[in-house]
Homo-oligomer: A and B are copies of this chain.
Amino acid sequence: MASKLIAIVAGVGPGTGASVARKFAATYPVVLLARKPENYEDLAKEINQKGGRAIGISTDVSDSQSVKNAVEAIKKEFGADVGAAAAVFNASGGFLRKPFLELPEDVFSASLDVSAKGGFNFSQATLPLLLKGVEQKSQHPPSLIFTGATASVKSNALMASFATGKWALRALSQSLAREFGPQGVHVAHAIIDGVIDIPRTREWLKDLGAEAKLSADGIANDYWWLHTQPVTNFTWEIDLRPAIEKW
């Protein structure tokens, strides 16, 4: 039954994650995953007040047990046979620009832990729900969408930690697209090539004008568009950047 289908967003914060959650909340109950409750509490409240349905679950995507616990909590809330219409992985390991020989091992590991292992944990936890979405004949093909970056396809000097995790996540998404597409799940990867306009970046690139930064709501629209593609026309990868971006 379609009404059982939910959307799950990992990596909810003030930017893309929140915009994606709001967008998908117009159609599905949404589950908000973030390590810290302060990253999802206000958003869940906002969505619930506006007539949607949202719950937040404190989750560390890099910890497989924490992700499994989140799925248990989801089943407790939505029923043991709950299916998912969408799962969006928007988490990201820290971004540290640093000469390689000064890069601490734990920073390098953290990027892999969040981007690569986090992507693995999230995919293993949500794909069974997405496959249930297929069985339950969701209106749109259930979608597993990963947020990438410029560093997913270009590994610049001083960016070894961030890029390594992001390339690994892109590899994961490509393998999953090839395995689960034929099973009816749409796996996609978005290369976000530019600065996203969020509170933290408000002062950045100001001299370039209002259109120098990506809109987080725009990214959410694009994820929704990916979600609504029919099984005959799946996109694995899109790039997204401001018109004025140099690339």
Contact = CB atoms under 8 A, between A and B. Distances in A.
A232 B247 contact: no
Interface in A91-135: 99-101, 103, 105, 108-109, 112, 116-117, 120-121, 123-124, 127-128
Nearest to A210: B232
B171 A166 contact: yes
Contact of A100 (B109, B112, B123, B171): B123
A181 B247 CA distance: 11
Interface residues of A, number: 73
Contact of A155 (B100, B116, B171): B171
A117 B108 CA distance: 8
A182 interface: yes
Contacts of A197: 232
A175 B155 CA distance: 5
Contacts of A101: 124, 127-128
Interface string A204-242: 000000010111001101100100011111111111111
A73 interface: no
Given A214-B233, A222-B233, A163 B178 contact: no
Contacts of A180: 100
Number of this chain's copies in the assembly equals 4
A235 B222 contact: yes
A176 interface: yes
A155 B182 contact: no
Contacts of A235: 222, 238-240
Contacts of A159: 175
22 contacts: A64-B105, A100-B124, A103-B124, A105-B124, A155-B170, A157-B175, A159-B175, A160-B172, A164-B171, A166-B171, A167-B170, A168-B168, A168-B171, A211-B232, A214-B233, A215-B230, A222-B235, A231-B243, A231-B244, A234-B241, A236-B239, A237-B238
Interface of A: 64, 99-101, 103, 105, 108-109, 112, 116-117, 120-121, 123-124, 127-128, 141, 154-160, 163-168, 170-172, 174-176, 178-182, 184, 186, 197, 211, 213-215, 218-219, 221-222, 225, 229-247
Given A178-B246, A237-B237, 16 more contacts: A101-B127, A103-B124, A108-B120, A116-B164, A120-B164, A156-B175, A157-B178, A157-B179, A158-B179, A159-B175, A160-B171, A164-B172, A186-B243, A218-B230, A222-B235, A233-B242
